[in-house]
Amino acid sequence: MKSLPQTYVPTVKIAPSAWQVFAVASIAIFMASLDSTILYAGFNNILNSFPNSKATDLSWAMTGYSIVYAAMLIPAGGIADKYGRKKIFMLGTFFFISASFACGASPSVFWLIVARIFQSIGACLLTPAALALVLDAFPKEKRMIAMGAWGAVGALAAALGPGIGSYIIDVGGWEWAFFINVPIGLLCIWQSSKILHESTQPRDKMRMDWIGMLQLIIGVGAIAFGIVEMKSPDWNHLELIGIIVLGFAIILSYIPWAKFNPEPLFELSLFKNKTFLYANLAGITFAIAFSIMFFSFFFWMKNIWHFNQTLAGTAIMPGPLTVVPTAILSGRIVSKIGHRPLLVTGSFLFALSGLWFLLIPDANPNYLRDWLPGLLLNGISIGLVMPSLSSAAVYGLPPKDYAVGSAINQAMRQIGTVIGVSIAVLFLAKSQLTVTDFRPTYLIYIALALITAFLCIPIKTHPKHFIAAK
């Protein structure tokens, strides 16, 4: 019998059931992603509903969600691994839609912030469980295709969020930006009970690292507070800089705590994988830039060009819509050449889109000439970077660490989101905005995009690299 040549690689097919699992998990991720973009669109409307509150107060409805999400997401990955990914996925979805209803029914900004925190706990439970279910359903050779499609789902929600959210807010009020989650979540739970099979990576024991979680919550919260209040008359700059430095110190104090604690929030040893390390660092810087960009777009449309709510949301949609086909295509490309070329190229394109918005648009609205080209460039760059960062972070991890690894990656991006929203609120949350007010945000956005590009250079996920390693 003639032996096969060494170059022979068997064809790996994707089972139809894998795409069914993907579809069910995507419903929940679509819901959570839609909710975040809707809140960007409805920021001014919510603020107008509570005239006694300030923009800095309302910003905590966004940053509070992200802070708790970042801290809870990592143990949530372990919870999904231990108690069952399907079970935790369905529980998280139910918790999310219950809290969403509470958000819409909130009588004040304070109660909205409280409800948003509970909503973030639901999102923490469902997100890593959903991704772990998808990763487990696909053979490793086809996971990058699935991750490209996974990124496209989030991008589609981001694309539809501004338009759909703005229309919902115009017709039914900002409350329906949250109420809309209820029917979507119920559909997801119904389909989950029919299609999903339990998927676990059992762990011998598990304890919640409450101290580690508090270190992350207090540290990130202090940094966000210091940035948001930088223009407040109640604090001087030295006090706020001290609070920011203290926040970083509290986060760094996790390193000796993790070495001392036998069951820390997450194992520092995961970061010995250089690809995992640099993908997460790049995830933070890109998330800061992305949040600044997305927030500034809404402020520009409503305050500089004076578009109404629906028109502003619709005007932003072409960029995220471009992300969808780009993310799908990038998932197929990285399976052949690895993530680094797309990440570096996408980051530089993202910086160029920031340069476009810095130099081209002015106070006179000319959407097709001055805004749309930059928006399309922006969408292509995000489609190259965002799903590739998520995929690269977990690519070299063993199966037992899929949920925890993806949770860490999402948590790092949420930390970036908190910082990005805080920076945007610092510069743009004022009653009268001019074109000049946007320049610092675009300069920060460009600088962070370039830093992301350099952080992506050490990432190694080329298929030949892993074949040689084996």
Residue 290 has a pLDDT of: 93
Residue 468 binned pLDDT confidence (cut-offs 50, 70, 90):
very low
Quote the CA–CA distance of 149 and 414 in Å, as a whole number: 21
Contact assessment for residue 48 and residue 220, using Cβ atoms and an 8 Å cutoff: no
Q: Across all residues in the chain, what is the average pLDDT?
A: 84
Residue 8 binned pLDDT confidence (cut-offs 50, 70, 90):
very low
DSSP-assigned states of every residue in 364-407: S--IIIIIHHHHHHHHHHHHHHHHHHHHHHHHTS-GGGHHHHHH
Q: Which residues contact 393 (CB under 8 A, 6 or more apart)?
A: 275, 276, 279, 280, 283, 405, 406, 408, 409
Contact assessment for residue 420 and residue 292, using Cβ atoms and an 8 Å cutoff: yes
Residue with more model confidence, 54 or 287: 287
Quote the CA–CA distance of 228 and 186 in Å, as a whole number: 36
Contact assessment for residue 406 and residue 394, using Cβ atoms and an 8 Å cutoff: yes
Mean pLDDT of 109-137: 88
3-class secondary structure, 7: coil
Residue with more model confidence, 13 or 372: 372
Contact assessment for residue 354 and residue 449, using Cβ atoms and an 8 Å cutoff: yes
Residue 9 has a pLDDT of: 42
pLDDT one-digit tens code per residue, 32-76: 877 766 777 788 888 888 888 888 888 888 888 888 888 887 777
pLDDT one-digit tens code per residue, 330-346: 878 887 888 999 999 99
Residue with more model confidence, 187 or 35: 187
3-class secondary structure, 433: coil
Distances in whole angstroms, Cα of residue 357 to Cα of each of 148, 151, 159, 382, 443: 27, 25, 19, 15, 10
446's tokens = 């460009």
CA dihedral 247, 250, 251, 253 (to 10 degrees): 160
Answer yes or no: is pLDDT of 10 > 60. Answer: no
Residue 159 has a pLDDT of: 67
Residue 167 has a pLDDT of: 83
Answer yes or no: is pLDDT of 208 > 90. Answer: no
Mean pLDDT of 238-242: 91
Quote the CA–CA distance of 426 and 418 in Å, as a whole number: 12
Residue 203 has a pLDDT of: 57
Contact assessment for residue 193 and residue 112, using Cβ atoms and an 8 Å cutoff: no
258's tokens = 């993790």
Can you give the length of the chain in residues?
A: 470
Residue 73 has a pLDDT of: 77
Answer yes or no: is pLDDT of 448 > 90. Answer: yes
Distances in whole angstroms, Cα of residue 292 to Cα of each of 29, 232, 382: 22, 20, 14
Q: Whole-prediction pTM value? A: 0.81
Whole-number percent of the chain with pLDDT over 70:
91
Question: What sign results for the dihedral spanned by CA atoms 32, 33, 36, 37?
Answer: negative
Whole-number percent of the chain with pLDDT over 90:
34
> In this structure, what DSSP letter does residue 14 have?
P
Considering 176-180, 208-212, 305-309, 353-357, the range whose residues carry the highest mean pLDDT is 353-357
Residue 41 has a pLDDT of: 76
Q: Which residues contact 176 (CB under 8 A, 6 or more apart)?
A: 104, 168, 169
